[in-house]
Structure 1
Amino acid sequence: MDIFAKQKIFIKSIILLIVMNITLIGFFIFREMKPPHKPLLFPKNEEYNDVSGILKKELNLSDNQVAQFDTIRKQNFEKQAALKEIIRVDKDAMNQEMFNKNSDETKVIKLAKKISQNEYQIELLHFEQAKKLKAVCNEKQLDKFEDLILEIRDYFRPDNQPMKR
């Protein structure tokens, strides 16, 4: 290869590296200029770190009602946690059985039914909790509670949470 061919390759390599550097710099500048995340649907409020704070403030719950709500929610959470752990163990067993060399189809079907029954039990727990919470409220609070449910759902939606960097 003569000196002129080497020089042409060298110049083309330098031009390619310059274009790549400019592209990367432009990418990083563009990335820093856009906002880190979309604005939240509902602004965050430190008092509302969980549903209890929202319910207490919006429904004007008495201290006795707050204690009853907390007890009901805690009991429900413990029951759900136990069922979710059973579901997790059963799903692991089902996945292990499904991808085993010699899968037992009846065992997989039984595990699937057991998982669905436990998920059904969780939904029944939600219903029972709702009945108990409504029993604690007075008529005025019940009317407000009905309207508040969708707002609470939207408040805790994943797309309404601040982005982590």
Structure 2
Amino acid sequence: MALILGMATIWPAQAQEICLPELNPQDSAQSCGGDPGGGGGGGGTPGYVLQGVIQNEGYTTEGAVPGGKRLKIRAYSRLADASNDRVDAHYINVRCNAYDPYGPGYTSDYDEENNGALVDVKFASNSVQGEFRTVRVVCTHHARFGFLTYDTTSSAEIVVPH
């Protein structure tokens, strides 16, 4: 199973970290460590983290060419506080594209939500076959909380088995 996590925090400079989360994003995602934000000096508002995750949820032959398979993809955006608890963003979205590097076109999905902490998409890639069985998934994640915006990207190259 391929799993990729992109994270963005807003603290002195935007930062991005990569780590593997727990598999139950509804409850929590694993923290990557490091400074969770919060002001220096006299304290301040705790920092928030936008987590972007891509998961391989298996393969399907439905809609595939004979001998081919399609990658089943789940991707999500999740806003969390310094304690790694979910936080309802004023607005949150995820947009993903799954590319077959050797074929024409791509598949994509998008979802958004107001006043939510997690938004996800589930979709399948184009059919891949023969020796060209790598699918590249690229997602952009965006959230807005108060006057701050959070953006990150995540990507994965997943080989679909024969």
Q: Which has the higher helix share?
A: 1
Q: Relative CO higher for 1 or 2, CA cutoff 8 Å, sep ≥ 6? A: 1
Q: Which has the higher strand share?
A: 2
Same fold (TM over 0.5): no
Please give the TM-score of this superposition, normalised by the length of structure 1.
Answer: 0.20
* Larger radius of gyration between Structure 1 and Structure 2: 1
Please give the TM-score of this superposition, normalised by the length of structure 2.
Answer: 0.20
